[in-house]
Amino acid sequence: MIKTNQPLKSIIDYQLSIINRQLLRVGDNMNTFWLKIAGAVVGVLVLIILIKSLLPSGSESKPAEKPKTFYDMADRDRQFLEQPKPAEEQKAEQPGKPAPEPQTQVTQQPTAAPAQPAGRTPGVVLPSDIKGTTTLYFKPLEETEDIQAQELLPWAVTGRSIGRLPIVQYGLMVKACRQIEERWPDSWYAFRAKQMLEEIAERYAANYKITEQELNISRFLKPRQGTEPRVVEPVRR
């Protein structure tokens, strides 16, 4: 049986113990390093949560509105096909009060003209000056003329929609609107035509030589012989 060299074994055990202590010390240092990193990460997260909680709710960014497509704008243009509703001539009778005597003729009050901005031709009122529900006065058309106007107005509205496309521009709309104004200047169709003409961008309006007089709606503010009161609203954007 081979005898073990005791001094050599003692030396080896001693060296192994030193190596084990060094490994433990390195392990402790590594654990401390990762603990420090973990602590730093937790501190940053707490700081972010604290800052966010202190910020006012109004500072949060709102989601950007989705841009309108060609089809959205074409659907919007359909408002120019709407016929203004008749205005109420008299208020409903209140209970408990005697009914007023019948009148042979209803008195129509003119609508006050909006304040004019500086630089505009005196007496000119544009469709965009209408800021709320307003009563205007239009002449009704004969049946044949009304049918013709109903056929021409959609051409103007369609021209308004396709005019936004590249190259096309607004020639079809301008031509149809001017025909409506020339043939039925006192009708609500002419008022819609003026609304559409005013919406053209300035660079195109200059090309088609659209003037303030062409857009003027002041004639609709006062009752005239043969006119009927109608309620109009501002253009919906």
Mean pLDDT over each residue of the chain, to the nearest integer: 78
Better-scored residue on pLDDT, 155 or 107: 155
Going by the DSSP 8-state scheme, the letter that residue 29 receives in this structure is H
pLDDT of residue 167: 83
Q: What confidence tier does 118 reach under pLDDT thresholds 50, 70, 90?
A: low
Token reading at 232: 């109009």
Mean pLDDT of 142-165: 95
Mean pLDDT of 145-170: 93
Please tell me the distance from the alpha carbon of residue 191 to that of residue 180, in angstroms, as a whole number.
9
The answer, yes or no, to whether residue 190 has pLDDT greater than 50, is yes
Please tell me the distance from the alpha carbon of residue 56 to that of residue 82, in angstroms, as a whole number.
45
pLDDT of residue 2: 46
Phi, psi of 137 (to 5 degrees): -125, 120
What are the tens digits of pLDDT across the range 5-16?
556 556 556 655
What are the tens digits of pLDDT across the range 140-152?
999 999 999 999 9
Better-scored residue on pLDDT, 121 or 215: 215
pLDDT of residue 94: 45
pLDDT of residue 120: 74
Token reading at 177: 């609107």
Determine contact, residues 70/77, Cβ cutoff 8 Å.
Answer: no
In the chain, where the domains are located:
6-50, 70-86+123-232
Determine contact, residues 210/174, Cβ cutoff 8 Å.
Answer: yes
Mean pLDDT of 153-167: 91
Mean pLDDT of 177-196: 97
Q: Which of 178, 162, 182 is nearest to 170 (CA)?
A: 162
Please tell me the distance from the alpha carbon of residue 228 to that of residue 132, in angstroms, as a whole number.
19
pLDDT of residue 20: 60
What are the tens digits of pLDDT across the range 47-100?
666 666 666 655 455 566 677 787 888 899 999 999 999 987 544 444 555 554
pLDDT of residue 178: 97
CB 234: neighbour CB atoms within 10 A?
Answer: 14
